[in-house]
Structure 1
Amino acid sequence: MELTIPVETVCRIILRAREYEALVPETDPDAGSNASDDGSVDELEDGRDENPAEAELRAIIDDLAEDEQAELIALAMVGHGTYDASEWDEAMESAAEETDDAADWVLDQPTLSTDLDAGLAAFDLSCDGIGTLV
């Protein structure tokens, strides 16, 4: 199996997915309170209307070719355990059905970064030494 999507692109998506997954739904009813009093919870809250990690993920995924989007989804499926690495063709067939809304599908995965990382590992690929969070 040879990917058409660059591993560097998958790694960039993993890094941004980690940022996205770290956000929590808004829970602070008193957003104007003193940050030290409420444990700085506002820093991690997801203000969905202005979420740069989500916006960047959507842009990256939307810019991918359809076959690359399918590979990204298939990697997540393999990493999640829906398919085994030996079932790559089946994973790709299933993933191809999701490319119409690829960004939505990807962002709906609560463990996306872990799944993609495990998907790469299933094919002896990794993000070791590729990129850093900025």
Structure 2
Amino acid sequence: MQQRRDKDWDLSIGPDTVRLFILKAKAISAGVNEDYEDGAEHEVEFDGDARDNHHHDGLAEEETEDLTARELRELIGDLNVDEAAELVALAWVGRGDYDASEWQDAVAEARQRGNRRTAKYLLGMPMLGDWLEEGLEVLGA
């Protein structure tokens, strides 16, 4: 775990907003992990009459997961440049790419990336919720 730093900065993005993103990211991760935990979740066994006894509404679950991902993607897309850069920097700090003393460098690097594909980039991180949570903790937010 990285060392927490005394707060000598202000976030443009509110910590409560980041916590909302954390909840949504963890919900997306949990949906994927639960489905594929044992690797055989989607196998269907047939009884002697060769009828499908598996009453699983996969479309409803898939729709819910897509809705959460879509909501998170839209929320990230609504961020301004500074907020988007800070969200990416928080993920990087939480992941260990930067420590708290390098916060300004992380934000500057994230800002250089631009925010056209920020949502796609962040949603591609398998542990986004955990990394954002760790980033907030490291920064003391």
TM-score after normalising by structure 2:
0.73
Partner SS, residue 4 of structure 1: coil
Identity of aligned residues (%): 36
Query: Gapped runs of 5+ residues in structure 1?
Result: 126-134
The answer as to whether partners of 2:73 and 2:119 remain within 8 angstroms in 1 is yes
Output the CA distance in 2 between the equivalents of 1:58 and 1:21.
14
Partner SS, residue 117 of structure 2: helix
Does residue 34 (structure 1) correspond to residue 69 (structure 2)? The answer is: no
The answer as to whether partners of 2:28 and 2:65 remain within 8 angstroms in 1 is no
For 1:20, the equivalent position in structure 2 comes to 28
For 1:58, the equivalent position in structure 2 comes to 73
Output the CA distance in 1 between the equivalents of 2:130 and 2:16.
16
Output the CA distance in 1 between the equivalents of 2:63 and 2:96.
29
Output the CA distance in 1 between the equivalents of 2:77 and 2:115.
10
Output the CA distance in 1 between the equivalents of 2:57 and 2:130.
24
Report which stretch shifted further, 21-30 or 82-91: 21-30
The size of the alignment, in residue pairs, is 119
Query: Gapped runs of 5+ residues in structure 2?
Result: 1-8, 45-51
Change (3 A) 1:113 1:49: closer
CA deviation vs aligned residue, 1:16-54 (integer Å, no higher than 9, x gap)? 001011122676255x6524xxxx6959x6x37961110
Counterpart selection for 2:84 from 69, 73, 77: 69
Query: Superposition RMSD on alpha carbons, in Å?
Result: 2.7
Counterpart selection for 2:135 from 97, 109, 119: 119
Report which stretch shifted further, 75-84 or 16-25: 16-25
Runs of 4+ displaced beyond 6 Å: none
Counterpart selection for 1:110 from 107, 118, 126: 126
TM-score after normalising by structure 1:
0.77
Counterpart selection for 1:6 from 7, 11, 14: 14
Change (3 A) 1:48 1:95: farther
The answer as to whether partners of 2:81 and 2:114 remain within 8 angstroms in 1 is no
